[in-house]
DNA sequence: AGGGTAGGTCTAATATAGAGACTTAGGCCC
DNA sequence: GGGCCTAAGTCTCTATATTAGACCTACCCT
């Protein structure tokens, strides 16, 4: 918990202060969170964690992503150096994606998030159910 | 790294298998990631990490969120038991949001993500710059 | 009496995502 | 040797999500 708070306090320092007054306050956490905190990026990283995979394998693994978003997500991850893209000159060409070292380094922190998700999702669902049940007559 | 992979392998098991064939495969990781992996949730949790805060404090802390999304994000987090909402009968009423224990428990895993962001964002920007530079004439 | 505040809700405008047709060139079947 | 398939995209059109900003209620201050 000590570690947690120190990291988070470091973050809040970006948020507060006079930094506020000046315009698009630059916050690395926001930056990175906006990047990997989108709908598909983490999922891609996790899917690529076990082994390199080709475009259509990825599509099969994450069945509800559209081609368009898959392309875009992979491109963005490549751009940020988290994955690499390898084209093989077969016909039709096959394209393999794999985690770059930077992407590998993300696995550890992401794993702890997954652990959390795994352990707590029951609690979340319980809370959700009770909230929805209680909503009957509570005005806002 | 050992821990990382075990968590992630546990995850991939949901993705693969025959689970595939049956419809909306239920995967707790997807579930939770879709929840906290949206644009604002993590940011809210982090902002509330240091202390409970009121609606307008949160809005000031995260300057670029709209009222509408702030309301909605807070409501969803409350629904999932990550934060609690307390109305004080002042006039006009003030409403304070604070982390629930479940939300607290998310701080630790999130902190390791923040650490990663903090340490690596320079690498990410370097990769991004070099990718953008190289894009001049590479056809896809 | 006029203006300000807190915590919202509502509507219209805009940005983002999804579905699915189209592309290119070779391999496979009959 | 014509028809159909595949891989990895792209393109267009539509649907959904997000934003900006007006509006609301009740009180306090000057």
Read off the pLDDT of residues A91-102 as tens digits, 9 standing for 90 and up.
Answer: 788 999 999 999
Neighboring chain B residues of A63 at a CB cutoff of 8 Å: 20, 25
Q: Strand A83-88 and strand A94-99: pairing? A: antiparallel
- Measured in residues, chain B has a length of 140
Mean pLDDT of chain B: 85
pLDDT for A23 equals 44
For A104, the closest chain B residue by CA position comes to B1
Burial of residue B113, with CB atoms counted within 10 A of its CB: 0-12 exposed, 13-18 middle, 19 or more buried: buried
What is the share, in percent, of chain A residues with pLDDT greater than 90?
55
Which segments of chain B have a pLDDT < 70? Answer: 1-3, 15-25, 135-140
How many angstroms separate the CA atoms of B73 and B15, rounded? 28
- Cite residues whose beta carbon is less than 7 Å from strand D: A 54-57, 67-68, 71, 74, 85, 92-96; B 38-39, 64-69, 91-92, 140
Residues 86-125 of chain B whose Cβ lies under 8 A from any Cβ of chain A:
102, 105-118, 120-121, 123-124
Distance B37 CA to D18 C1' (A): 16
Write out the two tokens for A34: 């906006």
Contact between chains at A32 and B121 (C-beta distance less than 8 A): yes
| A26-80 residue pLDDT tens | 777 788 888 888 899 999 999 999 999 999 999 988 988 999 999 999 999 999 9
Q: Which of B105, B117, B127 sits opposite A81 (nearest CB)?
A: B127
How many angstroms separate the CA atoms of A62 and A47, rounded? 8
As a dihedral over the C-alpha atoms of residue A132, residue A136, residue A137, residue A138, rounded to 10 degrees, the angle is 10
Q: How many Cβ atoms sit within 10 Å of the Cβ of residue B60?
A: 13
Contact between chains at B117 and A32 (C-beta distance less than 8 A): yes
DSSP string, B48-65: HHHS-EEHHHHHHHSTT-
- Measured in residues, chain A has a length of 140
Orientation angle between helical segments A101-134 and B101-134, nearest 10 degrees: 140
pLDDT for B91 equals 78
pLDDT for A139 equals 54
Q: How many Cβ atoms sit within 10 Å of the Cβ of residue A120?
A: 20
Least Cα separation, residue B130 to chain A (angstroms): 8
Q: Is B27 on the interface with A (CB under 8 A)?
A: no
The helix/strand/coil state of B98 is strand
């Amino acid at each position: 918990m000590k570690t947690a708070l120190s990291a988070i306090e470091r973050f809040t320092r970006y948020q507060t202060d006079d930094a506020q007054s000046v315009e698009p306050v630059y916050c690395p956490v926001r930056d990175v969170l906006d990047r990997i905190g989108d709908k598909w990026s983490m999922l891609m990283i996790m899917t690529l964690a076990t082994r390199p995979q080709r475009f259509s394998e990825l599509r099969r693994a994450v069945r509800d992503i559209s081609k368009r978003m898959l392309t875009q997500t992979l491109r963005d991850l490549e751009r940020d150096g988290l994955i690499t893209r390898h084209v093989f000159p077969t016909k039709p060409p096959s394209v393999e994606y794999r985690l770059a070292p930077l992407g590998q380094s993300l696995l550890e922190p992401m794993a702890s998030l997954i652990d959390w998700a795994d352990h707590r999702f029951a609690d979340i669902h319980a809370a959700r159910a009770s909230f929805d049940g209680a909503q009957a007559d509570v005005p806002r």
